[in-house]
């Protein structure tokens, strides 16, 4: 079993990131989906070896990857910020990209709205944001024996 903390769109709100303790410390993997990837690198400094950083549309000189595919407990996961797949208008492009890579799960941000959808056999999860732009939230994902469970967690 692996636990994954998924964050996106922190936009420099490191106080909100720090307030999540002990969740990052106890998670097996931390994925920051951009905007600002420097916040993801801040997490990577605190939790080296278990933090994945993805660049977002506000990350001109980002310290992460533009997108990535990882395998966790036999499940392939596609991670991106989402802006290159027009996620504010449709999730079909994102689902198609993830499926073409053989991924069962796609993680994305950009919209600041916490949500989960399934399209063409791909589970698409947006953790929401950690800023004033929307209700603050993150997503906690558990991968175990080929199954994905998750919960969006609202924070103050």
Specify whether the backbone of 9 is left (phi greater than 0), alpha (psi in -120 to 50) or beta: left
Q: Residue 141 above 90 pLDDT? A: yes
Cis peptide before 12 (omega within 30 of 0): no
34-80 pLDDT, tens digit each: 999 999 999 999 999 999 999 999 998 889 999 999 999 999 999 99
Answering whether pTM is above 0.95, one says yes
> Which pLDDT score, from 0 to 100, does residue 61 have?
86
State how beta strands 67-72 and 51-53 pair.
unpaired
Tokens of 6: 């998924």
Closest listed residue to residue 124, CA positions, set 108, 111, 139, 138: 108
- Lowest mean pLDDT: which of 16-20, 103-107, 109-113, 129-133? 129-133
Nearest to 16 by CA among 138, 130, 151: 130
pLDDT of residue 134: 85
CATH of the domain at 17: 3.60.21.10
Q: pLDDT, tens digit, for every residue of 86-107?
A: 999 999 999 999 999 999 999 9
What's the structural domain count of the chain?
1
Query: Helices in the chain by DSSP H: which ranges?
Result: 14-18, 23-26, 37-46, 92-100
Boundaries of domain holding 54 = 2-154
């Amino acid at each position: 079993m692996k636990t994954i903390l998924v964050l996106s769109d922190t936009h420099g709100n490191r106080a909100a990131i720090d307030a999540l303790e002990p969740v990052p410390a106890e998670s097996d993997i931390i994925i920051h989906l951009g905007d600002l990837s420097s916040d993801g690198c801040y997490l990577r400094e605190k939790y080296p070896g278990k933090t994945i950083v993805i660049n977002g549309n506000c990350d001109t000189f980002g310290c992460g990857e533009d997108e990535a595919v990882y395998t966790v407990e036999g499940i392939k996961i596609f991670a991106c910020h989402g802006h290159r797949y027009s996620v504010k208008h449709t999730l079909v492009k994102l689902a198609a990209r993830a499926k073409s890579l053989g991924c069962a799960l796609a993680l994305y941000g950009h919209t600041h709205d916490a949500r989960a959808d399934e399209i063409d056999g791909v589970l698409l999860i947006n953790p929401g944001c950690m800023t004033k732009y929307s209700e603050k939230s993150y997503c906690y994902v558990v991968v175990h024996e080929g199954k994905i469970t998750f919960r969006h967690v609202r924070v103050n």
